[in-house]
Amino acid sequence: MIRVKNPQDFWSGALFIAFGAIALWVGRNYNMGSIVRMGPGYLPRFLSAALVAIGLFLAVRGVAINGPSIQPSLYRPQIFILLAIVVFGLMIERFGLAPAVLVTTVFAALASDEIQWKETTVLAVGMSITSVVLFIYLLGQTMEKWTWGF
Amino acid sequence: MRKSFPLLAALAVAGMAALPASPALAQQYPDKPVRIQLGFPAGGGADILARWYADKLAKASGGTFIVENKVGASGNLALDATAKAKPDGLTLMLASTVTTAGNAAVFKTMPMDVQKDIVPIVGFAETPFVLAVAPDSPINSIADLTAFIKSKGGKAKYGSATTSALASTAIYLKQIGAEATHVGYKATANAIQDVTGKEIDFAFADVIFAMGQAKQGRIKMLAIASDGRSPGLPDVPTLKELNGSRTGDIVALWGVWAPTGTPKEITDKLVAWTNEITKSDDTQKFLISTGATPFVSTQADYKNKFEISLKAWAEAVKLANIEAQ
Amino acid sequence: MELLQNLALGFGGAVSPINLLFCLFGCLIGTLIGVLPGIGPIATIAMLLPITFGLSPLGALIMLAGIYYGAQYGGSTTAILLKLPGESSSVVTCIDGYEMAQKGRAGAALTIAAVGSFFAGTVGTLLIAGFAPILASFAEKFRSPEYFSLMLFGLIAAVVLAQGSIIKAIGMIVLGLLLGLTGTESQSGTARFTFGVPELYDGIDFVPLAMGLFGFAEIMTNLDRRGRDRATAAPVGGMMPTREEIRRSIPAILRGTFIGSLLGILPGGGAVLSAFAAYTLEKKIAKDPSIFGRGAVEGVAAPESANNAGAQTSFIPLLTLGIPSTPVMALMMGAMTIQGIAPGSAILTERPELFWGMIASMWVGNLMLVIINLPLIGIWIKLLQVPYRLLFPCILVLCCVGAYSISSSTFLVMMMAGFALLGYVFAKIGCEGAPFLLGFVLGPLMEENFRRSMVLSFGDPVIFVQRPISLTILLAAVALILLIVIPQFRSTREVAFQDP
């Protein structure tokens, strides 16, 4: 088992390799052309290859040279923040702005373990009203206040 | 008004929407805000046209008309949103035949069927392309340009920022039986700047932009790509009259569209309102000052133009060798 | 003398009570949308366009222009307070502005940003008044090859932005470039990296990308930190900059204004570079570059001034050539068209009262904004005292609504969630967002201009060195590489010697 001495570099490298490899695969059919008559595939392929190369360098360096470790995640903030955004995306067109903001605020507040329920309820209702007034009435955005559409 | 007990209200509304619209309902149309789908970003020429008409439609009908910029995939997102909307007159689309007929020809797969899912209601303006060269160029007519392109043996350079410009050039080149080198641009303004700066030899540009540039002496307009001359540019001859190029068939004819199945009572009203707006003095002045040609028509006229456009686009795409997506 | 007469004519039109009111209204709306993440000036101006149908041409243009500068001023507020860049130009302000806010210098950062913007706006306005035609003819010399060289220079400068490992920064630039290529390619029409999603055909929208990568990643990182050590809220200092901060800001504002004015006049991509270029210059000439990224006041003063100078001078191509250099300018052009005015040199001769009135209103607008903004700063920094557990859900909601409003698309909201995760991972593994975003913005421009140059020259790369401007920029790029590489080489050697 190889011991990773610099996890930040190592995982950056891994990420770059992954992105580069995916881009190479997705772009495999784009027409290359030549440097003089570049096709749409020329630059993507060049960049993907460069990214893989940089990734390899970083990964190897990460194994070889000591460096800072990665701070551990709590997972709770990440899960609820991402969930809150996704919930907003799912709700805005089906239920309208007010309900979407209401639920999203609650999900977002859950990301912090300092959450207090009474306060969050007030905040959610307040944000709901504010966003309707601000975005729909004041800024004239084309969104439904509330609706029911599937 | 929407109620706060959404489920019941929604059921009631859904039930009502399912019934055929009664004349009484059409009488009050539009009793709710009408969303006009537009496949172009806020602020462009199309957006200004759309907002002009939305504003006037609201005044004519006493209702609310909102322009919704559904930008993406060359207007396909707006087409798709319109096709999937309820045919209740509350979702309309403002688009030209370039987006509807043109996209049907350019895209290998379309999210919807332009002939089945949406219907043309009424046209109102044609925004043709003009063929431009540098102001101090020795080329002074289409005949000069044709001779110049032939003498260059494929090395004459032309710019295009849109499929329309590309297809128009292809039709013209086919007509004169010559070839030229294509230079692609993201915006017409950049292509025209390169015409002025003589980086390229000629380009088709939309009339709104080209007119302003010609006025400042930054380009020379040799011909217009529509069937008839534009009332704002009576001195610019058409390509059709000069050498018979049928670029007029793919010209952008703007109009109001709706999902198939929109009640006739509603579409009849839209036809009447739109024609009334187009005929009004300030709209005529606005359209002509931008180089557009006002177009007052029945639903059948617009449909007919759309069908001609469909055929012409299918041919033009093959001619221009535009890569299907 | 003639200039003074013209300006007098302009002020005569601009300071009429009704036009001042339009200007104020525009500035207020602009500040509001600038502060709201995701809601940009373009959507707002487009929405207000029908209202202008009935106004006088000068009143209409004054109001719309006010929205534009207002958004510029407001945009820096969220960048500094919350690390939320509203547009590409405020990305750089995030770097040091947010760090200053973390150290309790939010008020000072905002004050310097506002004053710097005002100064830059004044200079930009004077440049338009005095030299618009000359500057426009200079801008006309920039064609595809020059743009390619300029973008290349910008990318190399992006390496200087990096605070940590240079190789990682290069990786991030390359990744940004690659992501920037998403969408329909302009020469052949090939759809690249779209995965069949129609929303991606026109490329990835900048706003959800920047909000995800910066704002959300910051929220998640913050919550991790608070969950561990229950840190109290960031200290809130006063709004006055210290004497030391003022001393360091003044030259930075001057340099930023110069760079911004110059790049702002280039249609099609020059303005994007101005803030980055100004920041890079500050970092390169600083005695101690290590303070950058830790709350250097120059890192706020220079890019903010550059931004606003560029925002002013980007009117030049529109007013003199009738060529819109940015989407907002295209919109201004639309507003003029509706009013029956053909933008371009003709305005100056046919409608001098309109031309000079607009110029006068630019200065009045900038003055109004600085007057509106300075008292607001006190309110903004109070926001930082709101408990974080209440603040971050509000930011999240505003960002979601903003992302959705861009094109009424839930896809953009979902994409923002994806970028939020990516941004968090980047932060964890020490990859920086700024070089990534610069690559993202410049990638497609660079490719487009390179390929077009090659078509124009029938495949002869000599085109890039034949043209004097292009050649000059390329030589400057080489010099910059040497500046980056030499100290790097030296320091690795030192490290090698010290650390056997």
pLDDT per residue over A86-102, tens digit each? 999 999 988 999 999 99
DSSP string over B68-113: EE---GGGHHHHHHHHHS-SSSSEEEEEEHIIIIIHHHH-SS-SS-
Residues of B at the A interface (Cβ-Cβ below 8 Å)?
Answer: 2, 4, 6-7, 9-10, 35, 66, 68
- Provide the pLDDT confidence category of residue C417 given band limits of 50, 70 and 90: very high
Res C232: pLDDT: 55
- Same domain, residue pair B118 and B206: no
Q: Closest approach of chain C CAs to the CA of A147, in angstroms?
A: 15
Which 118-137 residues of chain B touch chain C by CB within 8 A?
none
Interface touch C268/B73, C-beta < 8 Å? no
Q: What count of other Cβ atoms lies within 10 Å of the Cβ of residue B178?
A: 18
Q: Is residue B6 part of a domain?
A: no
**Domain count of the fold of chain C:** 1
Among residues A64, A87, A104, the one where a domain terminates is A64
Q: Closest approach of chain A CAs to the CA of C393, in angstroms?
A: 5
Domain carrying residue A36: 7-64
Q: Closest approach of chain B CAs to the CA of C475, in angstroms?
A: 24
Helix axes C298-313, C106-140, angle to 10 degrees: 40
Testing the interface with B: which of A36, A145, A146 to mutate, by most B Cβ within 10 A?
A146
Q: Is residue A70 part of a domain?
A: no
Res B27: pLDDT: 58
CATH code, domain carrying B194: 3.40.190.10
Res C200: pLDDT: 84
Average pLDDT over residues A136-144: 80
- Same domain, residue pair B147 and B90: no
Res C156: pLDDT: 85
Average pLDDT over residues C434-444: 87
Which of B163-167, C129-133, C233-237, C469-473 bottoms out in mean pLDDT, i.e. has the lowest? Answer: C233-237
Which of B314-323, C223-232, C249-258, C312-321 bottoms out in mean pLDDT, i.e. has the lowest? Answer: C223-232
Interface touch C227/A113, C-beta < 8 Å? yes
Q: Is residue B97 part of a domain?
A: yes
Q: ω before B33 within 30° of 0 (cis)?
A: no
Q: Is residue A101 part of a domain?
A: yes
**Distance from C-alpha of B226 to C-alpha of C242, rounded to nearest angstrom:** 66
Q: Which of B9, B10, B68 lies nearest to residue A142, judging by beta carbons?
A: B68
Chains that touch B (3 or more CB pairs under 8 A): A, C
Which residues from C are below 8 Å from B69, CB to CB? 43, 46, 407-408
Distances (CA, A) of C309 to C148, C354, C363, C473: 23, 21, 12, 21
Q: Which of B71, B190, B285 lies nearest to residue C202, judging by beta carbons?
A: B71
Res C464: pLDDT: 92
Among residues B249, B276, B303, the one where a domain terminates is B249
**Domain count of the fold of chain B:** 2
Among residues B249, B274, B301, the one where a domain terminates is B249
Q: Is residue A69 part of a domain?
A: no
Both tokens assigned to C191:
């759809």
Interface touch B10/A147, C-beta < 8 Å? yes
- Tell me the pLDDT of chain A averaged across its residues: 89
Among residues A64, A89, A112, the one where a domain terminates is A64
- Same domain, residue pair B59 and B120: yes
pLDDT per residue over C351-394, tens digit each? 888 888 888 988 999 999 999 888 888 888 888 888 888 999 99
- Same domain, residue pair B134 and B105: no
Average pLDDT over residues C453-480: 90
Regarding predicted confidence, which is higher, C138 or C484?
C138
- Same domain, residue pair B95 and B207: no
Q: Is residue A90 part of a domain?
A: yes
Res B20: pLDDT: 40
- Same domain, residue pair A21 and A55: yes
Regarding predicted confidence, which is higher, B5 or C132?
C132
Average pLDDT over residues C60-79: 88
- Provide the pLDDT confidence category of residue C317 given band limits of 50, 70 and 90: confident
Res B132: pLDDT: 94
Q: Check if B40 contacts C (Cβ < 8 Å).
A: no
Global pTM reads: 0.84
Res C90: pLDDT: 83
| Mean pLDDT split into 10-residue runs, chain B, 325 residues | 38 40 56 87 79 90 86 82 89 92 84 89 92 94 93 92 88 91 86 92 90 89 91 90 86 92 91 93 88 89 91 86 65
- Same domain, residue pair A12 and A46: yes
Q: Is residue A144 part of a domain?
A: no
DSSP string over C270-323: HHHHHHHHHHHHHHHH-S-GGGTTS--THHHHHHHHHHHHHHHHTHHIIIII--
Both tokens assigned to A20:
């580069």
How do strand B181-184 and strand B157-160 relate by DSSP bridges? parallel
Q: Chain B residue closest to C452 (CA)?
A: B183
- Same domain, residue pair B101 and B156: no
Chains that touch A (3 or more CB pairs under 8 A): B, C
Domain carrying residue C68: 2-498
Cα angle for residues C358, C361, C363 (degrees, 5° grid): 120
Q: Is residue B69 part of a domain?
A: yes
Q: Is residue B7 part of a domain?
A: no
Could you give the percent of chain C with pLDDT greater than 90? 29
Q: Closest approach of chain B CAs to the CA of C442, in angstroms?
A: 14
How do strand C191-192 and strand B157-160 relate by DSSP bridges? unpaired
Is the confidence at residue A1, as pLDDT, over 80? Answer: no
Q: Closest approach of chain B CAs to the CA of A129, in angstroms?
A: 14
Domain carrying residue B196: 129-249
Both tokens assigned to A1:
């088992």
CATH code, domain carrying B63: 3.40.190.150
ipTM over 0.90: yes
Interface touch C421/A19, C-beta < 8 Å? no
Q: Check if A98 contacts B (Cβ < 8 Å).
A: no
- Same domain, residue pair A56 and A100: no
Res B323: pLDDT: 64
Interface touch A8/C389, C-beta < 8 Å? no
Among residues A17, A38, A64, the one where a domain terminates is A64
Q: Closest approach of chain C CAs to the CA of A142, in angstroms?
A: 8
Is the confidence at residue C39, as pLDDT, over 80? Answer: no
pLDDT per residue over C328-357, tens digit each? 888 888 888 778 787 787 787 888 888 888
Q: Check if B44 contacts C (Cβ < 8 Å).
A: yes
Which of C225-229, C350-354, C413-417 has the largest mean confidence?
Answer: C413-417
Q: Check if A68 contacts B (Cβ < 8 Å).
A: no
In the sheet where B252-259 sits, what is the strand order?
B65-69, B34-38, B91-96, B252-259, B118-127, B293-294
Residues C424-459 as b or e (16 or more Cβ within 10 Å = b): bbbbbbbbbbbbbbbbbbbbbbbbbbbbbbbbbbee
- Same domain, residue pair B114 and B142: no
Average pLDDT over residues A124-145: 87
**How many residue pairs from chains A and B have C-beta atoms closer than 8 A?**
17
Q: Which of B111, B199, B212 lies nearest to residue C344, judging by beta carbons?
A: B212
Average pLDDT over residues C84-104: 86
- Tell me the pLDDT of chain C averaged across its residues: 85
Instruction: Kindly report the backbone phi and psi dihedral angles of residue B125, in degrees, each rounded to the nearest multiple of 5, phi listed first.
Output: -155, 145
Q: Chain B residue closest to C463 (CA)?
A: B199
**Domain count of the fold of chain A:** 2
DSSP string over C153-197: HHHHHHHHH-SS-HHHHHHHHHHHHHHHT-EE-TTT--EES-TT-
Interface touch C42/B43, C-beta < 8 Å? yes
pLDDT per residue over C259-291, tens digit each? 999 888 887 666 668 888 899 889 888 888 888
Interface touch C168/A58, C-beta < 8 Å? yes
**Distance from C-alpha of B161 to C-alpha of C265, rounded to nearest angstrom:** 22
Interface touch A85/C400, C-beta < 8 Å? yes
Among residues B201, B220, B249, the one where a domain terminates is B249
Could you give the percent of chain A with pLDDT greater than 70? 97
pLDDT per residue over A10-61, tens digit each? 999 999 999 999 999 998 888 888 776 778 888 899 999 999 999 999 999 9
Average pLDDT over residues A136-149: 79
**How many residue pairs from chains B and C have C-beta atoms closer than 8 A?**
141
- Same domain, residue pair A82 and A41: no
Each as own residue / partner, the long-range contacts of residues B321-325 (CB below 8 Å, 24 or more positions apart, any chain) are B321/B170, B322/B106, B322/B163, B322/B166, B322/B167, B322/C189, B323/C188, B323/C189, B323/C190, B324/B106, B324/B107, B324/B108, B325/B106, B325/B107, B325/B108, B325/B109, B325/C184, B325/C189, B325/C190, B325/C191, B325/C201
**Distance from C-alpha of C323 to C-alpha of C328, rounded to nearest angstrom:** 12
- Provide the pLDDT confidence category of residue C235 given band limits of 50, 70 and 90: low
Res B150: pLDDT: 93
